[in-house]
């Protein structure tokens, strides 16, 4: 009897083991399904998530890293351009400051002998007025009257040579168009001076092409073709004529 019971129990135990084994297999299969589903989730992760891979000791840059590097380069380029623009503007301001300072000091002191003509030569693009700069209106050795500078020569030339000499000085032989100028020039010296008056085909005209209107002839003009102002006679009648090839002093005029 006991043997039968043992065998029966053994058979029961075997039956129990056989009954439990499928359950373990079911659990194992379920665990494998869970793992596979988790693995698939990891494999299908969002494209926006990147990891940093390493090759040896050097990291391989991912897409996000490349974007970050591009932003840094763009930022550096912008900073470089801004710095360059600032430096250029600073240089321009410094140059303008130096020019303005030079312009205000070159002609500020008349004792330096700075003339209005010299100021105009130095700053041709700026509209300069003598009263604004404090410059003397005319160069040394020139006389100022109204808006003109007059130079009374100390040596003699022919009329044509006098014209060329005055032109080289930036002016012309004197053109007398008012009684005030006539009186002013007469009172300065007691010599004979060429003025810019010449006869062209029986018509007296000034070197600037203006036909003579008001005259101060000492007497009726003679046959000679060029005009002279005589400082020895009263200003009302002190013009005389002479051959253009004669040598005498001359008066240059520069207008400003």
* Cα separation, 173 vs 204, whole angstroms: 15
CATH number for 142-255: choose from 2.120.10.30, 2.40.10.10, 3.10.100.10, 3.30.420.40.
Answer: 3.10.100.10
* Structure token digits, residue 159: 């009329």
pLDDT tens for the chain, 256 residues long, are 444 554 545 555 555 555 445 444 545 555 566 555 655 655 555 544 444 444 445 455 555 566 677 788 888 888 988 999 999 999 888 888 776 655 444 444 433 445 556 666 666 666 655 555 555 678 888 999 988 999 999 999 999 999 999 999 999 999 998 999 999 999 988 899 999 999 988 899 999 999 999 999 998 887 899 999 998 889 999 999 999 999 999 999 998 8
Q: Which two tokens stand for residue 4?
A: 């039968």
> What CA–CA distance (Å, rounded) separates 140 from 226?
28
Distance CA(133)–CA(137), nearest Å, equals 10
- Residue ranges of domains in the chain: 61-103, 107-137, 142-255
């Amino acid at each position: 009897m006991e043997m039968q019971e043992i065998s029966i129990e053994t058979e029961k135990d075997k039956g129990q083991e056989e009954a439990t084994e499928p359950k373990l297999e079911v659990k194992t299969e379920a665990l494998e399904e869970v793992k596979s589903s988790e693995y698939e989730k990891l494999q299908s992760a969002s494209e926006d998530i990147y990891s940093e891979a390493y090759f040896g000791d050097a990291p391989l840059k991912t897409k996000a890293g490349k974007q970050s590097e591009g932003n840094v380069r763009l930022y550096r380029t912008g900073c470089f351009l801004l710095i360059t623009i600032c430096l250029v503007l600073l240089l321009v301001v410094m140059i303008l400051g130096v020019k303005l300072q030079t312009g205000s000091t070159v002609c500020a002191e008349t004792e330096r002998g700075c003339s209005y003509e010299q100021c105009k030569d130095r700053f041709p693009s700026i509209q300069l007025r003598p009263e604004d700069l404090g410059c003397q209106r005319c160069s040394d050795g020139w006389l100022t009257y109204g808006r003109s500078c007059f130079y009374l020569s100390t040596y003699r030339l022919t009329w044509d040579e006098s014209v060329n000499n005055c032109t080289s000085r930036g002016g012309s032989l004197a053109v007398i168009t008012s009684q005030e100028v006539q009186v002013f020039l007469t009172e300065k010296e007691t010599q004979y001076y060429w003025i810019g008056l010449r006869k062209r085909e029986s018509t007296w005209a000034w070197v600037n092409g203006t036909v003579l209107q008001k005259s101060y002839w000492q007497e009726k003009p003679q046959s000679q073709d060029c005009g002279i102002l005589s400082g020895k006679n009263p200003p009302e009648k002190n013009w005389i004529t002479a051959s253009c090839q004669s040598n005498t002093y001359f008066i240059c005029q520069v207008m400003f």
